[in-house]
Structure 1
Amino acid sequence: MGMLTWLPPYRVDLILHGEEYGDLVRIAGDDVLLSERFANAFREEGLTGLDGFHPVEVRRVRRERKGPKPSHVPNYVVATVCFGRAAVDLTRSRVRYVKTPTCEECRYEGYEAVRGFTLEPGAWRGEDVFVPRGLQGQFVVSERFERFVTHHGFTHLRLTPTEEFVWNPLDREV
């Protein structure tokens, strides 16, 4: 069981936090909003790991802070990040799981904190964007994806090396 799948028609209300609209906006689950510019470049360059690319209607835009709204709202599409074959290396990663994972396929029993992780050698199949087994809810990208983002100057993305990634909302020991 999991979250329900978002079905058409795809409609969103945006909250603008800064000066400009972002090229990638994380929404619910494994879905992301992508600017049309981002989506077209992703497909043209043959990157992998995103599925869907369905048009989205932006119904309304609200500013979080005072100031004028940019006049042009970019066109967006929704895509889903794939569940990859790459798996978190349980012995070399600093992940505090609720229980030690017993399922070799999903490697997931819930986690409380992460202070860097590594993937099992040989498990990754070359996807450019994916959710690894053992860290559901986290997106991992390839070096090729990082170069793609830098080359095109895409916004609203913060890329962190896996060994430096920290997620620890309750300040737990890892």
Structure 2
Amino acid sequence: MGSELPTSSRFFVLERGATHSHHDVEVDVVEPVNLGAGVDCPRCGGPIGMRQWLPPYRANLVLHGEAFGDFIVASGDDLLISERFAQSFRDEGLTGLEGFHPVEVLRVRRRGRGSKPSSSPHYVLVRACFGRAAVDLAHSHLQGAQPSACEECRYTHFESIHGFTLEPGTWKGEDIFRPRGLQGVLTVSERFERFVTRHEFTHLRLTPSEKYVWDPHELQSRPGAQ
């Protein structure tokens, strides 16, 4: 008999760490880059995911900080995590990441002051799954959002996010996932948050979903904004 999901759970948004931090590192594209098709909704056929990176998985790294971080946003939905992160994730039975393809780091460059590192950690390529959890539009703050025409993907256009919640009963227990209606927002469980804190993984930040803000045009600060 499987364990039951908590009746009330908090969720967090996973983002890359601050630029110019101690563990700031980014991926530099190595040509040629092979890209596959993106992910489409199985019901309406609309796009819900970016084109995926295909083998060979080769990359250059650009180190802005003093040390290499454990989490790097590569491109689209592709993520690089350190081998330490990947091994701990699997050892502790967390769920929601797919792939775990080794990445060959060809070269490391340094930006700014400091000596060039002699080596880098091993990284693997992962992607977060598309979860069943759905955004609760009635109790979220998505400015300009309209009811979705597709009950499966819940896609809706919106102008900004000022906190969101998930519909009760839709989350199936994944520790990291892309929710229906906000497939571009990496969302994680409380267990994932404790996992990150316990291991002190670097170059990422976690924001409670109800406090997450995405406002590229600063609409909320304009006169008359609600």
Give TM-score, length-normalised by structure 1: 0.94
**2:108 aligns to what?**
61
Deviations, residues 21-42 of structure 1 (Å, cap 9, x unaligned): 1101112222210100100000
The answer to whether residue 177 in structure 2 is matched with residue 118 in structure 1 is no
The answer to whether residue 79 in structure 2 is matched with residue 79 in structure 1 is no
Q: Distance in 2 between matches of 1:127 and 1:47?
A: 8
The answer to whether residue 80 in structure 2 is matched with residue 33 in structure 1 is yes
Once the two structures are aligned, what percentage of the paired residues are identical? 62
Q: Distance in 2 between matches of 1:62 and 1:100?
A: 46
Does the 8 Å contact 1:29/1:137 carry over to 2?
no
Deviations, residues 125-170 of structure 1 (Å, cap 9, x unaligned): 0000000111121100011001111111110110000011000010
Does the 8 Å contact 1:19/1:70 carry over to 2?
no
Cα offset, 1:82, TM superposition: 0.4
Query: Which among 164, 167, 173 is matched to residue 214 of structure 2?
Result: 167
- 2:170 alignment partner AA: A
- 1:118 alignment partner AA: T
Q: CA RMSD in A?
A: 1.4
Question: Which moved further from structure 2: 49-58 or 94-103?
Answer: 94-103
3-state DSSP class of the match of 1:83?
Answer: strand
3-state DSSP class of the match of 1:145?
Answer: helix
Query: Which among 93, 96, 117 is matched to residue 140 of structure 2?
Result: 93
Does the 8 Å contact 1:33/1:78 carry over to 2?
yes
Cα offset, 1:99, TM superposition: 4.3
Question: Once superposed, which parts of structure 1, at least 4 consecutive aligned residues long, lie more than 6 Å away?
Answer: none
Question: Which moved further from structure 2: 66-75 or 82-91?
Answer: 66-75
3-state DSSP class of the match of 1:111?
Answer: coil
Cα offset, 1:6, TM superposition: 1.2
3-state DSSP class of the match of 1:77?
Answer: strand
**1:140 aligns to what?**
187
Q: Distance in 2 between matches of 1:57 and 1:19?
A: 21
Deviations, residues 65-119 of structure 1 (Å, cap 9, x unaligned): 2211233300000011100100100100001246432211111133321000000
Structure with larger Rg: 2
- 2:109 alignment partner AA: R
Does the 8 Å contact 2:163/2:211 carry over to 1?
yes
**1:17 aligns to what?**
64
Q: Distance in 1 between matches of 2:54 and 2:219?
A: 37
The count of aligned residue pairs is 174
Give TM-score, length-normalised by structure 2: 0.73
User: What are structure 1's unaligned runs of at least 5 residues?
Assistant: none
Q: Distance in 2 between matches of 1:91 and 1:78?
A: 35
Q: Distance in 2 between matches of 1:70 and 1:111?
A: 43
- 1:42 alignment partner AA: F
